[in-house]
A and B are shown apart, each in its own frame.
Chain A
Amino acid sequence: MTSSLGEPNLLAISFFLAFIVGSLGITVWASRRTRTADQFYAAGRSVTALQNGLALAGDYMSAASFLGIAGLVAVSGFDGLIYSIGWLVGWPLVMFLIAEPLRNLGRYTFADVLAARLRQTPIRIAAAIGGLAVICFYLIAQMVGAGNLIQLLFGLPYEVAVAIVGVVMLAYVLFGGMIATTWVQIVKAVLLLGGATLLAGFVLARYNFNPLALFAAASEVYGTSVLGPGRLVSDPIDAVSLGLALMLGTAGLPHILMRFYTVPDARTARKSVGYATAVIGFFYLLTFILGFGAMVIVGRGQITAIDAGGNMAAPLLAEAVGGTPFLGFISAVAFATILAVVAGLTLSGAATLSHDLWVNVVRGEKADQREQLRVAKGATVLLALISIALGILFKGQNVAYMVGLAFAIAASANFPALVLSIFWRKLTTAGAQYSMLAGTASALGLIYLSPTIQVDILGNAEAWFPLRNPGIVSISIAFAVAIGVSLLRPVPSEEQRFVDLERQLHLGVE
């Protein structure tokens, strides 16, 4: 089978333009409602549970989920599913531990929760470093995915494609703030679910709607080994490390945590996680079908011939089962997916830079509404430029793997400090601060020393650190530092402050 990927696909371009025009329309509408910092960062706290549930799903189901997992499953079989499962189980954790206290205690960013009970300046600086590191890695993955996709789809040069994503996303965030970003996420979530369901339906129609017949066909062609764990997680400790990072990382992603501030109260936050978990779980079950469908119907050879990382498996599958028009539709959906996630990431990065660093640290909370908005918008432009530069710099990386690393940083830098600040009375400012810094530094350092950078990229014979995913070490370091430092130097006044705040933390009353 020959693929029309790489030649300009007129239908894909029209779907894609329709999405851009529609979403910019939303942005224009939203821009009229974006006058204050509350509206810019938190959509005026007026988002309903279902809307926020869909928007959470939209923020979460990134290029890695759709293109990356489908590709990993198509190329490595069962191993790819480990990502699907790990990314879902983070959600119950967010629900049980984080969502409600976060909504009760914070305003715009997750650092607000830590800052409420600890000394703000050191905490916000440390949280900003961790948060921005996560956002950068996540952005790289999305931009690389977008660049590949547009290049293959429209025949545009990679660099131009990355720049287009940056500029359109900038328009959403800059003019429409959280209101536009939320609606773009909702539209995208519905498109992505619809597109993936349709695609899975087309695949299953060939197997009498029996998934097992599809999996059996896969094992006939490639052997039953594709249905069991394989090479990708050959090292047991690496498998546990990846599993930990995927699960705990969700609860440390700044752009996901930020969404809990867009709803009116903790009860709505809780319900929205319920909707998000249902939608995301359904989508990840579909990735089983999409991945094996691509493996059988398109074939591994063709998938890896077009992109070594396997990222184009889903679009290729769409073409195989539905022809060029469906390829166009699915590609446009994948593109919308990326744009929306990039917008969410950029907005949370802007909130970190302006709300955490500028307003609270530099200006000591003395900035008025106009200044807050001005700085937030400046930060947005800066982040858009950085994301375009990173996307061009990291051309050719596997998308799901890069996001896996972003999760490892989130799980090490943000999760330990955040969860301890909600549940542990004795946590001190220094403990949380050093935990976040140690988590970020160890995750980044170990990634640099891992086989991925040392062997695959730098071409050294072996790596100093054996694991491809640093989670198990860096998460442990972050917890150990937080607990150790807090116990070695207890601060009774901060403990008292937590006791005072506990009421607000759980009850949500001022």
Chain B
Amino acid sequence: MMAVYFGFVLLVAFNKPLLATIVMPGLSLGMLLGALVIVVAWALTWIYIRWANTHYDEALKGLRR
């Protein structure tokens, strides 16, 4: 998550022309990547909850015994 986000922030910081590239009318690379960062955050959260609810909680149950 941090890698994805800081990749984005570093591009904002050091490669502005790249992010300003227009991919198609009305869409710049920066906006596309920005929206993708939000989608990645969703996906990672969802994967973590799935994993934790099935595997992590079971492992904890085992440890409690």
Contacts and interface: CB of A to CB of B under 8 A. Distances in A.
A229 B30 contact: yes
Given A215-B26, A229-B12, 7 more contacts: A91-B41, A92-B41, A211-B26, A212-B27, A213-B26, A233-B13, A277-B41
B8 to A, nearest CB: 7
Closest A-B pairs by Cβ, 10 of them: A228-B20, A216-B26, A243-B9, A236-B13, A227-B28, A212-B26, A215-B26, A239-B13, A229-B16, A89-B5
A224 B5 contact: no
Interface residues of A, number: 50
A278 interface: yes
B22 A227 contact: yes
A396 to B, nearest CB: 28
B31 A78 contact: yes
Nearest to B52: A270
Contacts of A229: 12, 16, 19-20, 30
Nearest to A215: B26
Contacts of B42: 277-278, 281
Interface in A191-226: 211-219, 224-225
Nearest to B36: A85
Given A212-B25, A227-B28, A277-B42, A285 B20 contact: no
**Chain B: interface size category:** 35 or more
A85 B32 CA distance: 12
B63 A507 contact: yes
Q: Which one of A89, A224, A243, A506 has the greatest number of beta carbons of chain B within 10 Å? A: A89
Interface of A: 78, 81-82, 84-86, 88-89, 91-93, 95-96, 211-219, 224-225, 227-230, 233, 236-237, 239-240, 243-244, 247, 267, 270-271, 273-274, 277-278, 281, 284-285, 288, 506-507, 509
B20 A224 contact: yes
A218 B25 CA distance: 11
Nearest to B1: A92
Contacts of B52: 267, 270
Contact of A96 (B20, B26, B48): B48
B12 A214 contact: no
Contacts of B10: 240
Nearest to B4: A89
Interface of B: 1-2, 4-6, 8-10, 12-14, 16-17, 19-22, 24-28, 30-31, 34-35, 37-39, 41-42, 44-46, 48-49, 52-53, 57, 60, 63-64
B5 to A, nearest CB: 4
Nearest to B42: A281
Nearest to A509: B64
Given A85-B8, A240-B9, A271 B28 contact: no
B16 A227 contact: no
Nearest to A81: B34
A274 B6 contact: no
Contacts of B64: 507, 509
Given A212-B27, A240-B9, A247-B2, A267 B53 contact: yes
B26 A243 contact: no
Contact of A227 (B30, B37, B53): B30
A216 B49 contact: no
B45 to A, nearest CB: 5
A78 B9 contact: no
B60 A507 contact: yes
18 contacts: A78-B28, A81-B34, A84-B38, A85-B8, A85-B38, A86-B5, A88-B37, A89-B4, A91-B41, A92-B44, A92-B48, A95-B48, A95-B49, A229-B30, A233-B12, A277-B45, A278-B45, A285-B38
